[in-house]
Structure 1
Amino acid sequence: MPDYSEPNTILYQDKEGNKQILGYLWDLLEAYAHKHNAQLQVVNKYADDRPLNFIELLDAAQSGIIDVGASIQPMSMGSLSRMHEMSYPVNQASWCTMLPVERQLHVSELLTRVMPYPTLILLLLVWIFYEVLRGRWRRHPRLQSSGWLVLATLVSSNYVGRLLNLFADPPSLPPVNSLSALMESPVRIISIRSEYSSIEFTQRTKYSAAFHLALQASILIGLRNAFNTSYGYTITSEKWKIYEEQQKRSSKPVFRYSKDLCFYEMIPFGLVIPENSPHRAPLHSYTLLLREAGLHDFWVNRGFSYMVKAGKINFTNVVERYQTKTLTITDLRNVFIIYVSVLLISLVLFTCELFVSWVNYWLGF
């Protein structure tokens, strides 16, 4: 009974319209059946597109409907009361988060970062130094004018150099490296209730606002496969390889695998199998032989080609191509705001000076 959790087991239709199954778990069970001169009989080959959940598979194994479930499940997540209904560990993987790549700064934000605080402090120190030595420099007007020209050249060159560097390679926002930082960002981790309940209780209660629960697993999978950047997604390190490989065909990645937001590190995964199944020990020995021979890793690495063969992946660019754009009034908004603010301050100071001079004139000072 495959659970049809891609890319572990993939259900698709071939050119003749017949339903076929791909995936490294299917390769493993086919090789195991071939070793024992047996054939595989699929219980749910004509099932709908809905992937089976963990409880459905365990119940099918417990009731004797299946001998082995073509489904790999975590053995140390959530409740451990039914771990005896799983095989010996077949694989290890981490359960972390797939987050959207932080966006690059807009032009208006870049212009405000061109002149950082250290540069402003340096200019202030130069101005104070000039005011202190201004009395002595009056004897050397040429040196004074040359100094100001050199300073203006250095400042303008520094400004233009920084501006061109920022325009050529704009920096991105700081990466989200914790659940608390995720709560401050507009991104939320979308999850289903069964996965959400597997997260530690303290994390669920303290950072509940960082999660968004989906009613069905198909909604989550559809958003994740479409590279919807409105959400982050929980994902295992094995499945992340598929999305990483797919993004290599794009102009730039839109998602990254965050090891800072891992809920479980290197957890064992096992096959669903009845507790007293005679296949338990032989299957364990055979999976060890496959791993020693390198076939297990070979089949896992073919997951991306399996997804392409099944038509589950399209090679359209997931992001728009970069296009050069001219500066607009909106980009210079912050510059205009600063300019108007400084202009208003200077007008207020000038008005105050005029007011003080008029008061002194009328009072006869």
Structure 2
Amino acid sequence: MAWFIIIILCLGSLKAQLLDTSNKTEPDLEERLFGLLLRLKTEKVYDTLLIYGEDCAFPSLSTGLQVPTVLVSSGTTNFEWNFSSLTLILSCEFQAEREQNYRTLMKLQLARRLILLKGNAEPATVCDFYSKKEQYNVAMVKENFDQFGVVYSCRLFQDRNYEKVNLFEVNPIFIDQFRNMHGAPIRTIADNLAPRSMVTQDPRTGKKKWIGFVANLVNNFIEKVNATMDVPEELSEEDGRVFFGNIAMWAANDLLDIGMVVQFNSEMANFDTFTYPYLMCSYCFMVPLPDLLPYNEVYGVIIDRSVLGVLLVIFLIFSVMLKYIQQRSFRDLSLTRILMNDVCFRGFLAQPFPFPRQSNRKLKLICLLLCFASLMTTSMYGAYLQTFLYSPPFEPMVRTFSDFKKSRYKVAVNSIAMDMLRFQKNHKLNKAGKERIEVFNDQEFVDLRGAFDNEYIFPVTSVLWGIYNEQQKLFHHPVFYYSDDFCLSQYSILSFPIRRHLPYRDLFEEHILRQTEFGLLKHWISQGFSDMLRLKLVSYTDFSEPPDDELEICIDDLYWVLGVYALGLSISCCCFALEVLGSSNCWTRLKEKIYKKIVKNFVRDHK
């Protein structure tokens, strides 16, 4: 009986030890996983846990971490992930994450993933599976993690697609793999439109390369991440020109990684296939400079109504003050005497006038002010007249659509831009009227605009206008001007087209911000015209009309001056005649003198 009791006690103790050992297995795994999550937080902070599945140790660890947790037991969400947070994704087993919402997939593409492998799942298979989904920040632990402390982290640019990292080593578990792509290709294609991308030849290698404020940024990024440029030949066209809309479409269809082109994206429903804005510019019209004002109209331009009104008021004030100071009374004042004041008329025309006799100080002061006013008036109008005769101003410019309707011009638009405008709601070009819009094919439109055809108005961005403005400095005189108020869009955002699930999108957008912040964008834009000259994309041809050799003023140019002079002389003669005819005393005296002289002569002859 004693041996039987001893055997029972031994079996009970052994069973208790076995139970204690089995109970400690799970807490040890949780402790190791908890330490791993703490380490991941020190490498890069996360403030949200997203757990796929529920039959594992991950859900119970979230309480100890004191981090907001979203538990997706079904493996997929039925909502769009809109949390602006740094998320760490935990999966209870391989393929526990079965996300179907593509918007959520995009936003969580760069998030770090930690997977608990069960069964015979191999790290190489797991890394290959996630790389096909373009999710590269993936790490795995097996069920024996509590014994060995080994983390399997996926690596892209190496022979083996994963790396073993011990929990107690200093090597990082997650790395930014795309900062060094080890010569991996980046698929891109350029539209070959100056000045944003212009094809040239590398003098060292003899290969094609592209320059311009768009191509330079892509080239610098490829060099920065140690990649290579891959231009799909099947997408290239024979003439080298590629429509930028096709490039954006190819990027949206995953045929290109990054398009070497910028495109307006104001009408886009979302920005899944476009980067952070690279450039903001206006999209206005370059308008031909109007003709110079004819010489016969210069005399009317220098006369401003408001200035004439002020001069008339000053004239009336001087006239009233002169009459009042001379007569010391307002009794004899009348509108005729005020308006027909001979002294004020002569004074304002800078002509000599009789100085009033026995003038006091006040009268002398008024006459002095009158002389000063005449000097200012004649000097001002003389300066205006001489300046405008030497360099006549332009006729009124086109600043609005109403001005355009009164002009003789038409709007030239290429067929591609016209098709894009038709999809926009209430685009401003409708105000011009269909009869005033002429559509050309792309090459013909570029040739017309490059030849500065002054029969049309051309839509152009402010960046491209800078090139044309620099080219006009080679002309004898400018031909076009850029109308800031006559625009299709005052603020247009230009971005790069990229494919939807580009894994290094964050690096490329960071590169855009840095290049712009360092001032390289402004430098590239300012160098655009010199690059085009060097590549012979623009010529030194002067498209301005030759200046007239005869700048003399003809008799026809004095038509209005002579007409006004003749009119004034006629009015003066009429006034003089009316005064003479209206004076009866003068005629009576004349008749009496003539009669007396005749009588006197008659009497003398008869004596």
Q: TM-score range by the shorter chain?
A: 0.7 to 0.9
Q: Which amino acid aligns with 2:445?
A: L
Cα contact 1:111–1:163 (8 A) shared by 2: yes
* Offset, 1:104: 2.1
Higher RCO (CA-CA < 8 Å; seq separation 6+): 1
Q: 2-side partners of 1:37 and 1:132: how far apart?
A: 89
Determine the structure 1 residue equivalent to 2:181.
none
Q: Does 1:184 pair with 2:406?
A: yes
Q: Which amino acid aligns with 1:92?
A: M
1:68 to 250, 258, 272: 258
Structure 1 residues 113, 303: CA separation in 2 closer, same or farther (over 3 Å shift)? closer
Q: Which amino acid aligns with 2:446?
A: I
Within 5 A, what are the aligned runs for 1:85-100? 85-100=273-288
Q: Does 1:223 pair with 2:412?
A: no
Cα contact 2:449–2:458 (8 A) shared by 1: yes
Q: 2-side partners of 1:51 and 1:340: how far apart?
A: 67
Structure 1 residues 238, 114: CA separation in 2 closer, same or farther (over 3 Å shift)? closer
**For 1:261, what is the secondary structure of its paired residue?**
strand
1:31 to 181, 199, 220: 220
Structure 1 residues 200, 188: CA separation in 2 closer, same or farther (over 3 Å shift)? farther
**For 1:182, what is the secondary structure of its paired residue?**
helix
Name the Cα RMSD after superposition.
Answer: 4.4
* Offset, 1:277: 2.8
Determine the structure 2 residue equivalent to 1:268.
493
1:126-145 per-position Cα deviation (integer Å, ceiling 9, x unaligned): 886475779xxxxxx9779x
Cα contact 1:191–1:211 (8 A) shared by 2: no
* Offset, 1:72: 0.4
Structure 1 residues 62, 112: CA separation in 2 closer, same or farther (over 3 Å shift)? closer
Cα contact 1:24–1:299 (8 A) shared by 2: yes
Q: Which amino acid aligns with 1:331?
A: D
Q: Which has the larger radius of gyration?
A: 2
Determine the structure 2 residue equivalent to 1:58.
248
Q: Does 1:317 pair with 2:542?
A: yes
Structure 1 residues 209, 21: CA separation in 2 closer, same or farther (over 3 Å shift)? same
**For 1:99, what is the secondary structure of its paired residue?**
strand
1:229-263 per-position Cα deviation (integer Å, ceiling 9, x unaligned): 22222221211211122223334322222221233
1:298-329 per-position Cα deviation (integer Å, ceiling 9, x unaligned): 32322112211221222233323464422335
Determine the structure 2 residue equivalent to 1:281.
506
Cα contact 1:189–1:210 (8 A) shared by 2: no
What TM-score, normalized to structure 2?
0.47
* Offset, 1:105: 0.5
Q: 2-side partners of 1:14 and 1:338: how far apart?
A: 71
* Offset, 1:336: 6.3
Structure 1 residues 19, 111: CA separation in 2 closer, same or farther (over 3 Å shift)? farther
Cα contact 1:224–1:233 (8 A) shared by 2: yes
Q: 1-side partners of 2:220 and 2:201: how far apart?
A: 22
Q: 2-side partners of 1:64 and 1:133: how far apart?
A: 88
- Count of matched residue pairs: 343
Determine the structure 1 residue equivalent to 2:466.
241
Determine the structure 2 residue equivalent to 1:326.
552
Q: 1-side partners of 2:339 and 2:511: how far apart?
A: 82
**For 2:541, what is the secondary structure of its paired residue?**
coil
Q: Does 1:103 pair with 2:291?
A: yes
**For 2:193, what is the secondary structure of its paired residue?**
coil
Q: Does 1:10 pair with 2:198?
A: yes
Structure 1 residues 202, 272: CA separation in 2 closer, same or farther (over 3 Å shift)? closer
What TM-score, normalized to structure 1?
0.74
Cα contact 2:428–2:488 (8 A) shared by 1: no
Q: Which amino acid aligns with 1:73?
A: Q
Structure 1 residues 143, 344: CA separation in 2 closer, same or farther (over 3 Å shift)? closer
Structure 1 residues 334, 223: CA separation in 2 closer, same or farther (over 3 Å shift)? farther
Q: 2-side partners of 1:96 and 1:235: how far apart?
A: 6
Q: Which amino acid aligns with 1:70?
A: M
Structure 1 residues 289, 229: CA separation in 2 closer, same or farther (over 3 Å shift)? same
2:272 to 55, 79, 84: 84
Percent of counterpart pairs with the same letter? 23
Determine the structure 2 residue equivalent to 1:256.
481
Q: 2-side partners of 1:345 and 1:103: how far apart?
A: 36
Q: Which amino acid aligns with 1:260?
A: D
1:56-104 per-position Cα deviation (integer Å, ceiling 9, x unaligned): 223322444322211100111xx41474322222222222222223332
Structure 1 residues 200, 249: CA separation in 2 closer, same or farther (over 3 Å shift)? farther
